[in-house]
Amino acid sequence: MRVYLDNSATTALDNDALKAMLPYFTEKFGNPSSLHSYGREALRAVDESRAKIASLIGAKPNEIYFTSGGSESDNWALKGAVYASKALNKHIVTTSIEHPAILETCEYLERKDGVKVSYVPVGKDGRVSPEAVKAAVTDDTLIVSVMFANNETGAIQPIKEIGEFCREEGILFHTDAVQAMDSQAIDVNELNIDMLSMSAHKFHGPKGIGVLYIRSGVRIERLIAGGHQERRGRAGTTDTPLIVGMAKALEIAVQNREENNRRIAALRDNFIDRVLKEIPYVYLNGGREHRLPGNANFSFGFIEGESILINLDLNGIAVSSGSACSSGSLEPSHVILALGVPEELAHSSIRFSLGRDTTAEEMDYTFKVLKETVEKLRSISPLFDSDKGTGSYV
């Protein structure tokens, strides 16, 4: 049996999205910037896709900017805001659990541009408090960037409260919503979001395409210079097939959102209950409330996460240890450490991310293999007998 439980890393392309894309690779291959009929045909598809995506997040079509994905959108939002500002002192407020696309952009801006950055910590449940975000803001704060939901723990952040506060203070508010698009209802006006990053391949769309939503009136510097595509916001020939596939995938995700969420959360909750009840020395990372429906993240005492991952993989089960981007390195996940989890337990964390194709049979099989794997690995672990008990972290 093959079981894919790594939907936070990427998702399978939806069949209808693929079908919608195909003609734009072949007979409808025109450049949307061309004036002839080939170009106009492609432009029509791009315009329709732009309007569709806009309506699904409560935005206007001319507030949607196509990018190569979540990483580019995150880079653009922060660098664009900093480089557009003439202020002498520039300050960014973000969190300690952001995706590397935000954290490394912040580090770059600190190093190269003398920008000050505050990294707001999170609680044991993996959430920032709106009060802590407010407390971090200074007179120099240019932009607040808080992710909608975390890719490792699934913790959904208090976006509405933070958006409200930023609006009152007149500070730009950006959110990396890459993990949230599939399952969360998002209206950029209701939530006072000024900029939002999304990535198609996290909601069953194609890889290599994303959006930065930019509220009209917000001025940021462009990152990619060249042609006049995207209303001069982002140069590069418009990728019609990927854009069409992304719009179709988002439409399908939104249509089936409630039903998928209920079904996926029920499978996930049942799995968490069984793991916590039947496998000793296991800890759920993050809280059970305000959590993406498909996310379960555990630490398994006395074993390395990588050993679990490899054993599950040998049995056809795909999961992730730490964050996919840093696996291969032996650094424990910065997100799990930020919850206050001790280092050895952070090393043993495994993320199961269920998706809309996940079945009850797959979860039964996964539970059975996981239980056997943990027992087997502990039986050969020198740490296990010598250090019974769980120490301070429960």
Q: How far apart are CA 242 and CA 144, in angstroms?
A: 30
Closest residue to ligand PLP using C-beta atoms? 70
Instruction: Indicate the pairing of strand 349-353 with strand 295-300.
Output: antiparallel
Does the CA dihedral 218-223-224-227 come out positive or negative?
positive
106 is catalytic: no
The interface with ligand PLP within residues 149-168 (CB under 6 A) comprises 151
Counting residues that bind ligand PLP (by CB under 6 A) gives 14
The reply to whether 101 sits near ligand PLP by the rule CB under 6 A is yes
Q: How far apart are CA 203 and CA 226, in angstroms?
A: 30
3 state SS of 154:
coil
Least Cα distance to 92 among 129, 146, 147, 143 occurs for 143
3 state SS of 118:
strand
Query: To the nearest whole angstrom, how small is the minimum distance from the Cβ of residue 179 to ligand PLP?
Result: 5
Q: Is 21 or 147 the residue whose CB approaches ligand PLP more closely?
A: 147
Q: How far are the Cα atoms of 124, 213, 251 from residue 58, in angstroms, in the given order?
A: 33, 11, 13
Are 116 and 89 spatial neighbours (Cβ–Cβ below 8 Å)? yes
Query: To the nearest whole angstrom, how small is the minimum distance from the Cβ of residue 184 to ligand PLP?
Result: 13
The interface with ligand PLP within residues 273-292 (CB under 6 A) comprises none
Backbone angles phi, psi at 199, to 5 degrees: -140, 125
The interface with ligand PLP within residues 76-95 (CB under 6 A) comprises none
The reply to whether 295 sits near ligand PLP by the rule CB under 6 A is no
The reply to whether 7 sits near ligand PLP by the rule CB under 6 A is no
Query: To the nearest whole angstrom, how small is the minimum distance from the Cβ of residue 220 to ligand PLP?
Result: 18
Per annotation, catalytic residue among 51, 235, 265, 325 = 325
Instruction: Indicate the pairing of strand 172-176 with strand 141-145.
Output: parallel
The reply to whether 176 sits near ligand PLP by the rule CB under 6 A is yes
Query: To the nearest whole angstrom, how small is the minimum distance from the Cβ of residue 209 to ligand PLP?
Result: 8
- DSSP class of residue 202 equals G
Pick one of 52, 79, 127, 202: the residue that binds ligand PLP (CB under 6 A). Answer: 202
Pick one of 71, 238, 240, 321: the residue that binds ligand PLP (CB under 6 A). Answer: 71
Strand partners, 379: none
Query: To the nearest whole angstrom, how small is the minimum distance from the Cβ of residue 329 to ligand PLP?
Result: 17
Are 305 and 350 spatial neighbours (Cβ–Cβ below 8 Å)? yes
Candidate ranges 56-64, 159-167, 173-181, 362-370; the one touching ligand PLP (CB under 6 A):
173-181
What is the contact surface with ligand PLP in residues (CB under 6 A)?
69-71, 74, 99, 101, 147, 151, 176, 178-179, 199, 202, 210
Catalytic residues: 325
